Structure 1
Amino acid sequence: MYGLIGKMTLAPGQRALVVSTLLDGTQAMPGCLSYIVAEDPSDADAIWVTEVWVSQADHQASLALPAVQAAIAKARPHITGFAERFETTPLGGYGLAAAGRSG
């Protein structure tokens, strides 16, 4: 498995728009076991995205999907930066096993 955890910084007041855009554009991504968008409680203009994929290749392929491309294009003007980014190798956990069995 392949995992990513990343923090995005956003233009002031644009968090709700970016969150909605990312969630709407990431509904059907082959190989995606988990895609979570979360507000940063200590920064009103930041979000965290946590992803789990079957493989790094599946993640890379998702970036070419029309819905993902549209979400990126819509969100990009409101993203001011990418702060922390971590690649991981997920081993399992609550919810992940169920997602893996259904996908």
Structure 2
Amino acid sequence: MVFVNAGTLGTVAGRRDELVAHLTRRNDVLAELGCLAYEVGVEESEPDTVFVVELWTSAEAHQASLARAEVQESIAAARPLLSGEFGGFRFEVVGSPLRD
């Protein structure tokens, strides 16, 4: 069953685009760890917020990815760009009208 982690990342004022550039750098390790999609977005009415939607093969794959050195290094590099304000939700996908 697909696991979704969707959320918002608050950024330090004026540093949103730096965080977007960091989060959208090619990272093939994510796919190896079970990430099916990692989408990053912005909304002009919220200039210090980045929106992220992640689809994983399972909640366990997502959790396990957080222990990987490559992922920890990426999180550490992004930390100075973050304000500490986070929001979001997680859920298991139960169906879709786009597939059987």
How high is the TM-score relative to the length of structure 2? 0.81
Q: Within 5 Å, which residues of 2 pair with 1:24-103?
A: 24=25, 26-29=27-30, 30-90=33-93, 91-92=95-96
By how many angstroms is 1:61 displaced?
1.2
Q: Which structure 1 residue ranges, 5 or more long, are not aligned?
A: 98-103
- What amino acid sits opposite 1:54 in the alignment? T
By how many angstroms is 1:27 displaced?
3.4
Q: Is the Cα contact below 8 Å between 1:25 and 1:68 reproduced in 2?
A: no
By how many angstroms is 1:6 displaced?
0.5
Alpha-carbon distance in structure 1 between the residues aligned to 2:20 and 2:89: 20
Alpha-carbon distance in structure 2 between the residues aligned to 1:93 and 1:76: 37
Sort the Cα spacing of 1:60 and 1:78 in 2 relative to 1 into closer, same or farther, 3 A: same
> 1:8 maps to what in 2?
9
% identical equivalent positions: 33
Secondary structure of 1:81's match?
strand
Judge which range, 52-61 or 82-91, deviates more.
82-91
Q: Is the Cα contact below 8 Å between 1:25 and 1:67 reproduced in 2?
A: no
- What amino acid sits opposite 2:22 in the alignment? T
Alpha-carbon distance in structure 2 between the residues aligned to 1:31 and 1:45: 29
What RMSD over aligned residues (CA atoms) do the two structures have, in Å?
1.9
